[in-house]
Each structure stands twice: as C-alpha cells, then as structure tokens.
Chain A
Amino acid sequence: DQQVKQNSPSLSVQEGRISILNCDYTNSMFDYFLWYKKYPAEGPTFLISISSIKDKNEDGRFTVFLNKSAKHLSLHIVPSQPGDSAVYFCAASGRTNFGNEKLTFGTGTRLTIIP
C-alpha cells in the first residue's frame, strides 16, 4: 500500500525554466510534508518542508504547495539549474501505531536539467 505516490518517475526541464514535481498521498493523518534531494550512492538531503496547516512555503528557489483537500503537494524550482539534477523524494510524516513519528517516502522523481 503506497501511501505516498510520485507518479512521474522522471522529468526533464530546460535550464532556467520552472521544474514542478508532484506528490500525492492517501493518509489524511499525515501532518507534515518534506522534500528531499538525493544523488546516487548518497543519503538524501533535506530541501524544504510544509506543515499541514499551511498551503505554501517558500525558500529561495524552492516553493512547496500543499492542497489538503486534494491530498496533493508539489515542489516548484525556479529557475532550474544543472545542479538541481537529482532524484527528488516527497515524504510525509505521521505517527505509527507505536506512537513514533515516521517518514513515509514516495518512489522518487528523477529530475534532469538540460543546459
């Protein structure tokens, strides 16, 4: 049961244009959402997050939008740069049955920025 889904396995964007990565979730108990960037053979790097009480959070070139009614979030990168080429994971935070908070990850989207 994939509770967090990233339906686009890959995305190519021209340098300087906007990259939009999408993520859908099914569990309405998730209360915090995060985006991570990952290079091959490395651990993920935290990018940006958003609480479920907000609908937008911006940090430099990165903006995350949350639509709770649609259970959808997106990450916008503008302008896109070659160094943004990586795999991006969407993650949702919620409590397990044991009371711990855990992150549930999507399957990732490979973003390629074309120079």
Chain B
Amino acid sequence: GAVVSQHPSRVICKSGTSVKIECRSLDFQATTMFWYRQFPKQSLMLMATSNEGSKATYEQGVEKDKFLINHASLTLSTLTVTSAHPEDSSFYICSAREVGVTEAFFGQGTRLTVV
C-alpha cells in the first residue's frame, strides 16, 4: 500500500507553546489529507479535512484557531496545535488519499503530551 509518514512520533511540550506535526505522502500525491485524534480506548475522531491549496474544513466542535492545518503541497500537510494545554494531550493521526482512490492510508501517529 501507499506510504504516509508522520513526524514526530512523540512530542512533549510545555503548556502555552505550539507544536507542529507533519504528514507526508511518500509515493503518491495526496489531494486530500485528514487529521484525526484518538483518545484512550476510543475511536478515531475526524478533526478536519484538507484539500491541497484550499482551506481546511473542520468538524463541529474543533477550534480552527487552535488546530491550524496547512496543506501547501500535494505531499505535505501540517497540523499546528497552538497554545497547547494539557487537555490537548492525545494521539494525533493523519491520513492521505489519492484522487480517485477511496482507501485512505495512515501515518504512524503522533503522541502529544502537554505538561
């Protein structure tokens, strides 16, 4: 299957700082990328969908100004958690999909801990 690389895999940051997570499609062009959040023992919750070159569309309840998403190229999307709080600690996962393909391929995930 296609390869999606997510970086970093783990990050610890202080409250009030910002953290950027990168998601790259390594062997295909991802016209659409998705960002998910997973709480312990819960399902993957879609946060936002980003299409290359346009603004991300956020799911209800997700703060746009807190979770900044940029999809500047067909192979890279970034999620920036701004002014992080301990409650933002979670497992964040990106996925990418090629045009015309329904299967989405996932990155390895990023474990964010805000202290």
Contacts and interface: CB of A to CB of B under 8 A. Distances in A.
Interface of A: 32, 34, 36, 41-46, 49, 89, 93, 96, 98, 100-108
A44 B44 contact: yes
Nearest to B23: A43
B102 A108 contact: no
Contacts of B4: 43
Choose among B42, B94, B103, B111 the residue with the greatest number of A CB atoms under 10 Å from its CB: B103
B111 A41 contact: yes
B102 A45 contact: no
Nearest to A100: B49
B60 to A, nearest CB: 10
Choose among A32, A49, A100, A102 the residue with the greatest number of B CB atoms under 10 Å from its CB: A102
B43 A103 contact: no
B18 interface: no
Given A41-B91, A107-B42, A100 B32 contact: yes
A45 B43 CA distance: 14
Contacts of A104: 46
B19 interface: no
Contact of B106 (A44, A106, A108): A44
Interface in B71-113: 91, 93-95, 97, 102-109, 111
Contacts of B34: 102-103
Contacts of A32: 102
A34 B44 CA distance: 14
Given A32-B102, A45-B106, A89 B44 contact: yes
Considering the complex of A and B, which 9 residue pairs feature the smallest CB-CB distances, nearest first?
A: A43-B106, A107-B43, A105-B44, A43-B109, A105-B43, A100-B49, A98-B57, A44-B106, A32-B102
B49 A44 contact: no
B46 A102 contact: yes
A80 B24 CA distance: 33
A41 B113 CA distance: 13
Contacts of B49: 96, 98, 100, 102
A42 B109 contact: yes
Given A41-B91, A89-B44, A103 B108 contact: no
